[in-house]
Chain A
Amino acid sequence: MESRSANGLMGKVLNLSFNGWLMIVVLVIFAFAPVLTEVFNQPFYLDVATRLVILAIAAVSLNLILGFGGMISFGHAAFLGLGAYSVGIPFYYDIYNGWLHFALAIVVSAVFAVITGAICLRTRGVYFIMITMAFGQMVYFAGVSAEEYGADDGLSIYVRSNFNGVLNFDDDTSLYYICFVSLLVALYIVHRIVNSRFGMAVRGAKGNEERMRAVGFNVYIYRLTCYAIAGAMCGFAGALLANFTDFISPEMIDWTRSGELMFMVILGGSGTLFGPFLGAAAFVGLDVFLSQYWVHWRLIFGILLVLTVLFAKGGITGVVANLESMLRRTRGRGSSAAKADGEGPDG
C-alpha cells in the first residue's frame, strides 16, 4: 500500500486489485444492509447481518494473532464469553451502564489474555493450541458452574447496555450500525497495527522466530502484547453479542465456538486484512442457507475446510488473488508481480 501512496487516491482506486474491489462491494452491501432488508421486507436478514458482523469482529481479532502473528489459538471464544458476561453479570445486579459494560469487557479480556498468554506463549506448536484450548475450557466450565448466573441454562438479558442516549442499542437498525462501525474501526486498527513497527515485529516472529531473536527482538513481549490486543478486541465483540442475543450462556465459550472462529479466519484467508470478514460472511451465510435444506449441513463445513486447506491455502482472498493473476497473465497485461509487491497484507 505504502509504495503506491505517492500516486494519490485516484491512482489507488484505478490500481485496485480484485480483492480490493471485492472489499469495496462487500462493504457497500453491508453499509446498506438495513435498507436492503427493509426494501425486500426481510427483517430476519438484518438479524443475520448483525450476528455476522459481530462474529466478523471476533474473527478479525483472532486473525491478528493467528494470521499475522502465527499464534494458533484454539481458545479465542473465551474472550467472546468474557465480553458477554461483562454485560450479563452487571445486568444481573441491575447495572445497565453501557460504558461500564464495554470497559469491563475490554479490560477483563485484556487482563485474562495477559495472564493466560504469559503462560501459553512459553509453548510452541501443538502445545500452544492445546493450552489455549484448555484455558478456554476453564472459562467455559467457570460459566457452567456459575449457578448464580444461570449455569448451563444461561442468563436472559432484559435490558440492553444503556449509553445515556448517545448510542441506542434497542433499535435493530441502530444496533446494526453500531456493530458495523465497530467492525470498520476494528479493521482499521488491525490495518494500522500490522503495518506499524509493532506489527512488523510480530509478523517477523511468525516468519522466523529464531532470526527475530538473533536480530535483537524480545519476541515474547511483542507476542504477548499482540495477544492482549486481540483478546480485548474479541471481548468487545462479546459485549456486542450479549446485547444482540439478549442472552448469555457458557455455550458461547465452548471450544467448538473457538473452532468456528478459526474456520472463518482460514476460510476467508488468514493473514489478510479483509479475509476474516469474508470468512465470517461465508460461514454465517452457509449456516443460514444450508440449515434450511439439510439437517446434517454442518458436514459441509468440514468438507469445505478440508478443501480450503488442501487446495486453497489463502482461503477466499487467496482464490480471488490467484484468479486475478491468472486472468492478467492470459491477457498479458501489466505485471501482476509488481502489483503484488505493493499490496502487503491488505491484498
Chain B
Amino acid sequence: MAEPVLQVSGLIKSFGGVLATDNVHLTVLPFETHAVIGPNGAGKTTLIAQLSGALRPDAGEIHFKGRDITHFPPYRRSLAGLARSFQITSVVQEMTVLQNVALAVQAHRGHSFRFWHPAAADRELIEPAMERLEQVSLAERAHDLTNALSHGERRQLEIAMALATDAELLLLDEPMAGMGIEESSRMVSTLQALKGEKTMLLVEHDMDVVFTLADRISVLVYGKVIATGSPEEVRSDDAVRRAYLGDEVA
C-alpha cells in the first residue's frame, strides 16, 4: 500500500466536556476521493477545522505526507500542500475573481516581500491563475468583483484558489452547500474532472454526490469514525444504517 497522504491518529477534541472529536483515526490514500459523512452534529466541521489548523486538537496527531503537521498554523499547512475550501464561502470580497486566484498562486511562489513591481502585470501570477479559472470554467468572469458572482460561482472560485496553491490534498467542506441542482451538478463535474489527479477529502451532506464521487467513505457519528470502506461496504454496514442512513437506503 502506498504511503498515505493524510494520516490522522487518535485525534481528540472536546468542548466543555462534549467530545466533538473522539479518538478519530483516518487514512487518506494518494489520489483517492475520500468522503466523510455523518449526521448533523457528528463533528465533521470540527474535524475539518483541526485538519486545516483553525482548531488545535487536545490530543492525537496529524501527519501529512509523513510529516507531523499537528502544530502547524494554517498558512504553513497550505504551504505544505494542503488546501481547504470553506463551508461558508470565503473569498476576498473587494477583489476581482482573478486577483483572488492570483493571490493563491502568489502565496506559493516564494515570499511576498516584493514591494515595487505591480502584481497585476506579473505574468508569473496571472497566467497560472487564468489557467485555474478555465479549469473551473470561470475564466469569463475573471475581471468581475467577487460579490458579483452567484453562490455557485463563488464555490467554483474557491476550488480554483485551492488548485492555484498546487495543493496535493484538497479539503472540501460541503462544496455543494446551499446550491441549486444546476450549480451542484456543475460542481460535481468539476470535482469529477479532478478525481484521480488530486487527493480529496470531501465532507458532504448530499448522499447522491458522495456515492457518485467517493472512492472510500468514513462515517462519523458523535465524533467517532464508526465505519470506513468503499461506498458499497458503507451502504451495507449495519451500524451505519442504524446510526445514520436510516430509511433512506433501506
Contact = CB atoms under 8 A, between A and B. Distances in A.
A341 B143 contact: yes
A341 B120 CA distance: 12
Nearest to A210: B90
A203 interface: yes
A39 interface: no
Contact of B93 (A207, A214, A344): A207
Nearest to B124: A197
Interface string A159-191: 000000000000000000000000000000000
B206 to A, nearest CB: 23
A42 B94 CA distance: 44
The bracket for how many chain A residues form the interface is: 20 to 34
Contacts of B165: 215-216
Contacts of A2: 118, 120-121
Contacts of B118: 1-2, 192, 195-196
A197 B122 contact: yes
A18 interface: no
B121 A5 contact: yes
Interface string B91-116: 11111100100111011100011111
B91 to A, nearest CB: 6
A3 B126 CA distance: 12
A306 interface: no
Interface stretch (B4-12, B73-81, B131-139, B227-235): B73-81
Contact of A212 (B103, B121, B143): B103
Interface stretch (A145-153, A218-226, A297-305, A316-324): A218-226
Contacts, number: 111
B114 A198 contact: yes
B52 interface: yes
A195 B73 contact: no
Contacts of A129: none
A210 B52 CA distance: 11
B108 A213 contact: no
B161 interface: yes
A130 interface: no
Top 3 A-B pairs ranked by shortest CB distance? A216-B107, A216-B78, A207-B92
Given A193-B115, A196-B116, A214-B75, 18 more contacts: A2-B120, A2-B121, A192-B115, A196-B114, A197-B114, A198-B113, A198-B115, A199-B115, A200-B99, A207-B94, A208-B92, A210-B86, A212-B92, A215-B83, A216-B78, A216-B79, A219-B75, A341-B145
Interface of B: 52, 54, 73-75, 78-79, 83-84, 86, 90-96, 99, 102-104, 106-108, 112-122, 125, 143-145, 161, 165
